[in-house]
Amino acid sequence: MRAEFPIFAAHPGLVYLDSAATSQKPQIVIDRMNRYYTEENANVHRGVYELSETATRVFEGSRAYIASALNATIEETIFTRGTTEAINLVAQSLGQLLLQPGDEILLTVAEHHSNIVPWQIVAERHGAKVRFIPLNKDRRLDMQEAARMVNSRTKIMAFAHISNVLGIEHPVHDLIALAKSVGAATLVDGAQGIAHLPVDVRVLDCDFYAFSGHKVFGPTGIGVLYGRKSLLDRMPPYQGGGDMIEKVTLNGSTWNSLPSKFEAGTPNIAGAVGLGAAFEFVKGLDLGKTLAHDRALGQMLVDEIKRSFPKMNLMIEPGPDWIGLVTMAHEFIHPHDLAAICDTDQVCIRAGHHCAQPLMEIFGVPATARVAPFLYNDENDIDRFVAALHKAEKLFA
């Protein structure tokens, strides 16, 4: 698969192990975006000339393709700038629709900041309270505690499909069932899930599913929010202007139909077209095989760390809910120093708090290093990281 990604030809010897932050882009996506800019570039929806109609057709064609892949309708498939904007959209708009003083929003302690901060903002605005499902001893969600925390005041539950720190698939079906038992709305942060798991929003039965294109072989600055139509119809607009308007008078305005109601301003047309191409690329993959590949590489690294690096602490033990992502903290090497040493050998890893400071506080560390294998990695890449880790230990000893 590496040959599909031109960045590896541009950088011979590159070991890219940071795909949880952003994936590399296959040639099909790059070519499709270039084609849009060189042959189809115009604004969408409003133009009555042929080039604008072509741009509209390819833009809306990508939406339709993505909606079909998610088992959603076109009306329920909203383009955003990414997961963060999608969650903010839901928090602000759904919060205005549902929340009253004393209501509760239930999250998990393992959330990305983008699935914590928007809810804190909206909770403060409406007098609601944000509560957090804790982890159990094996650092999976404590579902018994979750069941105790859900109550009649719970109006919204939001949680990641897969943790960007632990690499663990949360029991989303069970969480959604808990929410439904008290009539709460559900949002799934699919930023990590979309690249590793088949996503069928009808099977999940969630109310919202959000993800970013750049995690799933697509361009940056584009994402998708799936929303249940019955809720989207009731929710007020998040932003004003552009295509979200039906009619404007000096006395007031009315809103366009879905999905335009939530797409203010000129959209990222090239990004949407590129994301459609990324979904075409994914359609040609066997996600079960690619997940098994990622797990095998992750397990190879875990085994080597346990065998050769007693000073390295792993944040999670692999299990059937694990995607192969390895997060670790060394007893005397700061993650930033480790990442810098890796970089001298063209090995790219992530270091920091991974936008999950509450989880770092629970772990008792300021930061961790993260290795995220993906389909364009192989065993040699893991060996190269291990060699860099040996180098770092010798240097800092």
* Catalytic site positions: 355
104 beta partners: 129, 154
Distances (CA, A) of 54 to 16, 29, 80, 116: 37, 19, 21, 40
Please list, in sequence order, all residues whose beta carbon lies within 8 angstroms of the beta carbon of residue 65, skipping any fewer than 6 positions away: 276, 279, 280
Q: What letter does residue 100 receive in the DSSP assignment? A: -
**CA 275/CA 112 separation, integer angstroms:** 23
Sign, CA torsion 190/195/201/204: negative
Query: Considering only CA atoms, which of 315, 340, 358 is closest in space to residue 134?
Result: 358
Please name the residue that has the structure tokens 């993906």. 374
Torsion of CA 6, 33, 374, 324, to 10 degrees: 160
Q: Where are the alpha helices (DSSP H) in 286-347?
A: 287-308, 335-344
**CA 110/CA 360 separation, integer angstroms:** 9
Beta carbons of 256 and 237 less than 8 angstroms apart: no
Q: Interhelix angle for 379-396 vs 287-308, to 10°? A: 30
With residue 263 as reference, give the H or E element that holds it: none
Beta carbons of 189 and 83 less than 8 angstroms apart: yes
